Amino acid sequence: MTTRKVPPRLPTRALARRAADVVVVLHGPNLNLLGTREPEIYGHETLPQLDAKLVSLGRELGLTVECLQSSHEGVLVDWLHAAAQRSDVLGVVLNAGAYTHTSLALHDAIAGIRLPCVEVHLSNVAAREEIRRTSLIAPACIGTISGFGADSYALGIRALVGYRARA
Catalytic residues: 42, 121
Choose between 101 and 158: whose C-beta lies nearer to ligand DQA.
101
CB 98 within 8 A of CB 28: yes
Of 92, 138, 94, 99, give the one whose Cα is nearest residue 113: 92
Q: How far is the CB of 30 from ligand DQA (least distance, A)?
A: 5
Choose between 27 and 91: whose C-beta lies nearer to ligand DQA.
27
Q: How far is CA 153 from CA 5, 13, 33, 74, 120, in A?
A: 55, 32, 17, 22, 6
Of 24, 25, 41, 29, give the one whose Cα is nearest residue 103: 29
Q: How far is the CB of 60 from ligand DQA (least distance, A)?
A: 23
Distance of alpha carbon 146 from alpha carbon 97, whole angstroms: 12
Distance of alpha carbon 109 from alpha carbon 111, whole angstroms: 5
Q: How far is the CB of 77 from ligand DQA (least distance, A)?
A: 17
Distance of alpha carbon 111 from alpha carbon 108, whole angstroms: 5
Residue ranges binding ligand DQA (CB under 6 A): 30, 95, 97-98, 100, 121-123, 125, 132
Q: How far is the CB of 104 from ligand DQA (least distance, A)?
A: 16
Choose between 20 and 68: whose C-beta lies nearer to ligand DQA.
68
Choose between 64 and 123: whose C-beta lies nearer to ligand DQA.
123
DSSP conformation letters of 6-34: PPPPPPPTTTSPPPP-EEEEEE-TTGGGT
